[in-house]
Structure 1
Amino acid sequence: MKTILIILITLTGQLAWSQNFSGKVTDEQGQPLPGVTVQNLQTGAYSHTDFNGVYRISESQIGDSLKVSLMGFEKANLVLSENSNDIVLSQKTISLDGVEVRRSIDAQSIFADVNLQTNPVNSSQDLLRLVPGLFTGQHAGGGKAEQIFLRGFDIDHGTDLFISVDGLPVNMVSHAHGQGYSDLHFVIPETVEGVEFSKGSYKADQGNFATAGSVSFQTKDHLDQSNVKLEYGQFNHRRLVGMLNLTPQKSGKTDAYLATEYLYDDGPFESPQKLGRFNALAKVTTRPGQDDKLTFSSSYFDSDWNASGQIPQRAVNSGLITRFGAIDDTEGGATSRLNSTIAYDKALQNQWSWNSKAYYTYYDFELYSNFTFFAANPVAGDQIRQKEHRNLFGAETAFSKETKRVNYEIKAGLRSDLIRGNQLARTQNKTLTLENIYLGDINETNAFVNLDAEISAAQFTFIPGLRLDQFLFNYRDNLGSGSPMNSDQAFLASPKLSVVYQTEKNQQFFIKTGYGYHSNDSRAAVQNFGRKTLPRSFGADLGSILKVSDKLLINPTLWYLYLQQEFVYVGDEGIVEPSGRTRRMGADLSVRAELAQSLFFDTDFTYSNARSIDDPAGQNYIPLAPQFTWTAGLSLMDFKGFSAGLKTRMLGNRPANEDYNLVAEGYWITDANVNYAFGKIKLGVQVQNLFNTSWNETQFATESRLRNELNPVEEIHFTPGTPFNLRTTLTYSF
């Protein structure tokens, strides 16, 4: 009895003295800092600041010491008191000692964060390459979305990778050029502040296309100062970026800025690509109170270009054209995109949060290509046009709650794509329409609900999740007179479960599992092909994140991914290409090291084995699936005004067809940069392909016919990679 009484008194004392505390973390300019790690050094309790820089920490009492840390800022300690528990962090040179391995499924994103902090980003390709192991390639004059490679996937332009910017989806369903088409060129790279990525589909908020993974970019809410950047380089490259802070007062209540970008580039081609691009972004963020945040942004993007297209190896070998020549130099296109988003975040009572957003996109697309030259039409050629006009609407709302042992979130949302004039036509010289192959209207709607939870038990965190998706597909064939809308619908439930074991020394071990999917194109979904509209994927990751010391981060992972049915709508031909069941497995290794003050090393290695399950051995290779990739870099940050970087990337040989008798040859490319800042001015030099390597950026096994040939020939067609390319930059801040 006496023992029980002592225990009750002890527990009562703990409850009496243990309290919940809150405070705000800001930088020296008064700007709130989200994502700051706050840990009680006495009890081990931890928290992270929210959208307004506010933390809420339990299991604490007056006099406890809090450790406050965020990469890019000096660490700080705070002693809890009855009065204000706010704290100001001072910026410092980037250092890995400020990196905390979090007890969450998103912890791997710190590797992309380090990349963003230590490597210059000047293009959408640079943005995507922030993800460890992700490679890109351009094959249509710089204006078309990049081809993407990740985890044994030739993702084409986004079929198996979900991409978003500030919650706005980039992937286009039922696109005229191909399912999941993701053109990231509407993003001004200098406005990006953060990136989160996930490989596999292990989070319930990951929906369509998130089979190989997902990437989410966040743009800045605030500019520290205004600046103008001028970039000039070889091949008539010109780029001008302006970023204007419209609220220079340090109130922390309202922030607004305007960013614009103009780019022109002819490329190394004999027929200049004449790539022109204009971007504008306006963003306003206001915080009416400590618990509220309202964000509005609007952006506009417009681009047009010419292209030399993919050329056959035999034409180069015979001397008919050079590596930078063309069989049909009338390819090219034009596209534009207008985006508007509004988001509201609210911290409610009892540690509840409410987050809502709505978005709208108006999108135009027109692309001219010629892959087979004179195989179908020996006189006029095989040029095609793909075209569409799209209105995209979406909204979602989420409620989440943090408790001592359980965090959970429920989210519901709706996305609707209204596509008019979705066209595939045969054309000549971009001026004459020879034949309409497909012309129709598409209405596609996706409604979803997802539930996420994080359940802590000692050093384990269990992360179950469930996503429910309902799709409605409608397609009207406008080539048939009075054709009605053909419809189909599909429902899918995708369960997930991950387990994270976190030590006290910034070490995390995890196993992640989950079902995902990629949807079929509406044009195929409404036809009775006997194919699944929403084929499942199932994946598993086993790995760890080890902060071996204050200066070294390591992330090894073994993974597996199964696809119930792999197919995409091939917009170039207007058909669906199913390839049955597939499986992929492999290993990833990422390392980030701080070799000395301001000197960083990074490397990422991936191995993937990708095979078709239903085809016999030797004929079951998945075309263009990467097998080996490797990147490595050295970065010098802010050393006496200097910063510099040396980055190399290697993509190994890949099968170009199912039996591997055609090889897409690998490459090894090195880029470099050096910058010097003095006062308000920063000068920079960038070199692409430092050693002037002759390489092929993208390659395909294609059957084509040249004008003087009797029969079509199947062989490697490619777009040449950029040769040595020197650019200089001048940035003035004010």
Structure 2
Amino acid sequence: MKIIFSYSAFAKAVLFIAFFFSTQFIAAHTITGFIKDINGQPLKDVYVLNVKSGTHTHSNAKGFFTIDNVEQEEELRFSHIGYEASSIVVTNHKDILQITLSPSSLNLDAITISNDVETLNVLANVDLQINPVTSSQEILRTVPGLFIGQHAGGGKAEQIFLRGFDIDHGTDIAINVDGMPVNMVSHAHGQGYADLHFLIPETINNISYGVGNYDESVGNFATAGHVDFKTKSYLDESKISVEIGDFNHQRYLGLVQLVDNAHTTAYVATEYLTFDGPYDSPQNFDRINLFGKLHHTTDSGNRLSLSLSHFDSEWDASGQIPQRAVDSGLIDRFGSIDDTEGGSTSRTNVVLNYDMDISDKEQLETTMFYSHYDFLLYSNFTFFLEDPINGDQIQQQESRDLAGFKTKYSYETQLGANDLSLIAGFGLRNDRTDASGLSRTLNRRTTLENIQLGDINETNSSLFVGAELSVNKLLIDAGLRLERFKFVYKDALTETFDTQSQTATALLPKLNFNYEVSDNVKVYLHNGVGMHSNDTRVVLENGADDILPKSYGSDLGTVWKASDNLVVNGALWYLFLEQEFVYVGDAGIVEPSGETERYGFDLGVKYQLTDFLFLDTNLNYAHARAINEPDGADYIPLAPEFTSTGGISLKDYKRFNAGLRYRYIGDRAANEDNSIVAEGYFVADFNVNYDLTDNLRLGMAVQNLFDVEWNETQFATESRLASEAQSVEEIHFTPGTPFFLRGSIQYRF
């Protein structure tokens, strides 16, 4: 018998045998497993420690972990904040471990300082558990250093302040919910407009945020930072609640789990809110929210979720009032000059998320989203300055369809003896806005003049790549992001049909370093280039050269676990912004802002006094100036200089939960030469809940506990009253809520 044996076949056989034995050798020292909670849901960022060797790792989004160099009879310990620690002795290297962690009281001792986990986001979610958010206005306050203000009857998106920015309603902060962008490009009221009122607070599972422009996976608007909210995949318990308070405040909430098994969960949530406010003219605020989510985990561990949501609101507003009208006795602090302001808005969202594990080393995350959005707003900031007969009321409106997707691929491998993680992703977003307009109106009934009116079609495509290399205790993260925009506008006010268009591209590099000094200290240096796009109408007016201004930033910071119950974080930072043009939606004009720079520091402290008592504070300083302006005339209006938030909280003590929280913002310049000052304020809030039974909870909350007189939003505005011959420029403000008491009852089942 003749045997034919080729060299190629021999080589393949040798390689197969070598691969087989090498994998068996590795497997003999590698332990893998899954970590879940008592409801069978995966737990992310569980700390897995080899007690003998000190090596450690963390679980991923599906609860999976792998840890190398584990010998037989060695002990693995599993810990996660809010869960009881668990240990297991390894007896068989080939077993795939199934670990279940039970909930327990919060303990800062479970927080780990590691390059594998973003400790500041862990702390933010600890805050969310200790001080649950019950108002959509409070959602963004969970981000350290971020301030908000409402000045349109509760229906308009909040004014946002962060790191020396008056961000308006979202121009320099990127906000996402379940991967869907919240910011609206080329919005009728202002660029980057981010209205979060469609998000029911009790459905939030976790918050992740980043300050600066250092993350290659985040693009447009991430100048001062970004915030990502993830909604719950399932409910720990169903609940209904009723809340009644001063100023005709009523809130009704229902969350019901519909399906709950090992593979599939589904729930619905609804919220109704009405509120008149403390104003002489009731704001008649009325909002309804609907939300539903289906989550499915396949036999292979892939995760699919589909969420549907809708919100609709309408309101009246007393508007911003001039200080001189209050000083003269013409009106009181809660009066109005024009109480015909107000509006209505709605948004319907569909979000599909699919996360799959291609292999143990490869993951693919995909998000698809669609929104239909309507907006109508009536305002009057200057009263009778422009039109002494009819007044200066304006109307802003739009109807928008927003659709897109984004996907991210991750791959983990080795570069020599070092861990290497590679990511790549791309995304597409299209906004089509019909009848985006600005008009002069009378009494919310009559249109006097159309100032701007047209259709906008804006497309943003993006591509990013990144690599993380771990060299001993040093993690190097390098990334590059490409943003491309096409702006199209059809002006309805021109005599002849004309489609205007423009394209632009921005390349944004990132380079970050994280170093574990010890088990308790990590230092980092983050660097990046970011941007926010300009309004389509700005782009077409100014050409391609200045329409995608860049920001250049750096952070030097540390996270220090000073003791088992004390965590301190701090950072020094710098940010430079190029020339940009800003579309002022309230006037339909374009204003240049010039080059600016900001620098400052952040300091945060979280301390656990006892098993149930927590103390925290954040201090934030920012120096913000225009670069090419003379000294004394280089202030950036309304840029916050010094802010602080914090408080003391009681968690799960003899059926009680309580919190005393404060927020402080210092005086700041309201105009470029600081001749007009926006006054700071210190406001404290208090809440307490008591579990009467395992199912029944009674609660009480007080906003502005000490009943201080404060201005929630302030602007330096030139206006003229009907009785005045000349205009006056001074502070115009929306008064902050006085002492405001609410009581609630909640039933859980």
TM-score relative to the length of structure 1? 0.96
Name the aligned partner's letter for residue 103 of structure 1: N
Q: Is 1:686 equivalent to 2:698 in the alignment?
A: no
Q: Is 1:711 equivalent to 2:723 in the alignment?
A: no
Deviations 1:89-115 (A, max 9, x none): 010111111222230583321231121
Q: Tell me which of 361, 371, 377 is aligned to 2:371.
A: 361
Q: Tell me which of 139, 142, 147 is aligned to 1:130.
A: 142
TM-superposed CA distance for 1:13, in Å, is 13
TM-superposed CA distance for 1:33, in Å, is 1.6
The equivalent residue for 1:408 is: 422
Q: Is 1:524 equivalent to 2:534 in the alignment?
A: no
Query: Does the 8 Å CA contact 1:150/1:626 hold for their aligned counterparts?
Result: yes
In structure 1, distance between residues paired with 2:61 and 2:621 = 37
In structure 2, distance between residues paired with 1:492 and 1:107 = 31
Q: Is 1:388 equivalent to 2:398 in the alignment?
A: yes
- Call closer, same or farther: CA 1:347–1:59 in 2, change over 3 Å: farther
In structure 1, distance between residues paired with 2:218 and 2:298 = 31
Name the aligned partner's letter for residue 428 of structure 1: L
The equivalent residue for 1:63 is: 73
In structure 2, distance between residues paired with 1:73 and 1:28 = 10
Provide the secondary structure at the position in 2 that maps to 1:403.
Answer: strand
Q: CA RMSD in A?
A: 1.6
In structure 1, distance between residues paired with 2:489 and 2:26 = 64
Name the aligned partner's letter for residue 726 of structure 2: N
Q: Is 1:330 equivalent to 2:345 in the alignment?
A: no
TM-superposed CA distance for 1:509, in Å, is 0.4
The equivalent residue for 1:638 is: 652
The equivalent residue for 1:6 is: none
In structure 2, distance between residues paired with 1:624 and 1:105 = 35
Name the aligned partner's letter for residue 580 of structure 1: G
Q: Is 1:699 equivalent to 2:714 in the alignment?
A: yes
Deviations 1:47-95 (A, max 9, x none): 3323322223334344333221211111122333333411110101111
Which deviates more from structure 2 when the two are superposed, residues 170-179 or residues 41-50?
41-50
Deviations 1:365-387 (A, max 9, x none): 00000000000000110000000
TM-superposed CA distance for 1:349, in Å, is 1.7
TM-score relative to the length of structure 2? 0.94
The equivalent residue for 2:592 is: 578
Name the aligned partner's letter for residue 318 of structure 1: S
In structure 1, distance between residues paired with 2:396 and 2:557 = 43
In structure 1, distance between residues paired with 2:309 and 2:25 = 51
Query: Does the 8 Å CA contact 1:104/1:500 hold for their aligned counterparts?
Result: no
- Call closer, same or farther: CA 1:138–1:21 in 2, change over 3 Å: same
Q: Tell me which of 207, 220, 224 is aligned to 2:232.
A: 220
In structure 2, distance between residues paired with 1:477 and 1:16 = 66
Q: Tell me which of 156, 175, 183 is aligned to 1:163.
A: 175
The equivalent residue for 2:317 is: 307
Query: Does the 8 Å CA contact 2:353/2:367 hold for their aligned counterparts?
Result: yes
In structure 1, distance between residues paired with 2:67 and 2:579 = 46
TM-superposed CA distance for 1:529, in Å, is 5.5
TM-superposed CA distance for 1:28, in Å, is 1.5
The equivalent residue for 1:92 is: 104
Query: Does the 8 Å CA contact 2:114/2:519 hold for their aligned counterparts?
Result: no
In structure 1, distance between residues paired with 2:557 and 2:364 = 33
**Structure 2 residue runs without a partner (length 5+):** 1-20
Query: Does the 8 Å CA contact 2:186/2:192 hold for their aligned counterparts?
Result: yes
Q: Is 1:444 equivalent to 2:458 in the alignment?
A: yes
Percent pairwise identity? 50
In structure 2, distance between residues paired with 1:433 and 1:687 = 42
Which deviates more from structure 2 when the two are superposed, residues 196-205 or residues 41-50?
41-50
Query: Does the 8 Å CA contact 1:343/1:358 hold for their aligned counterparts?
Result: yes
Name the aligned partner's letter for residue 511 of structure 1: L
Q: Is 1:561 equivalent to 2:571 in the alignment?
A: no
Q: Is 1:596 equivalent to 2:640 in the alignment?
A: no
Provide the secondary structure at the position in 2 that maps to 1:66.
Answer: strand
Q: How does 1:489-528 map to 2 (within 5 A)?
A: 489-528=503-542
**Structure 1 residue runs without a partner (length 5+):** 1-10
In structure 2, distance between residues paired with 1:330 and 1:261 = 27
In structure 2, distance between residues paired with 1:20 and 1:289 = 23
In structure 1, distance between residues paired with 2:509 and 2:55 = 30
In structure 2, distance between residues paired with 1:18 and 1:45 = 17
Q: Is 1:33 equivalent to 2:47 in the alignment?
A: no
Q: Is 1:373 equivalent to 2:383 in the alignment?
A: yes
Q: Tell me which of 240, 265, 270 is aligned to 1:255.
A: 265
Which deviates more from structure 2 when the two are superposed, residues 18-27 or residues 330-339?
18-27
Which deviates more from structure 2 when the two are superposed, residues 216-225 or residues 61-70?
61-70
The equivalent residue for 1:720 is: 735
Provide the secondary structure at the position in 2 that maps to 1:525.
Answer: helix
TM-superposed CA distance for 1:37, in Å, is 2.5
In structure 2, distance between residues paired with 1:583 and 1:483 = 42
Q: Tell me which of 538, 541, 544 is aligned to 2:552.
A: 538
In structure 2, distance between residues paired with 1:369 and 1:12 = 71
In structure 2, distance between residues paired with 1:533 and 1:68 = 50
In structure 1, distance between residues paired with 2:54 and 2:610 = 30
Deviations 1:461-481 (A, max 9, x none): 001011011110111111113
Name the aligned partner's letter for residue 696 of structure 1: N
The equivalent residue for 1:108 is: 120
Query: Does the 8 Å CA contact 2:341/2:378 hold for their aligned counterparts?
Result: yes
Q: Tell me which of 273, 276, 288 is aligned to 2:283.
A: 273
In structure 2, distance between residues paired with 1:45 and 1:353 = 24
Provide the secondary structure at the position in 2 that maps to 1:129.
Answer: helix
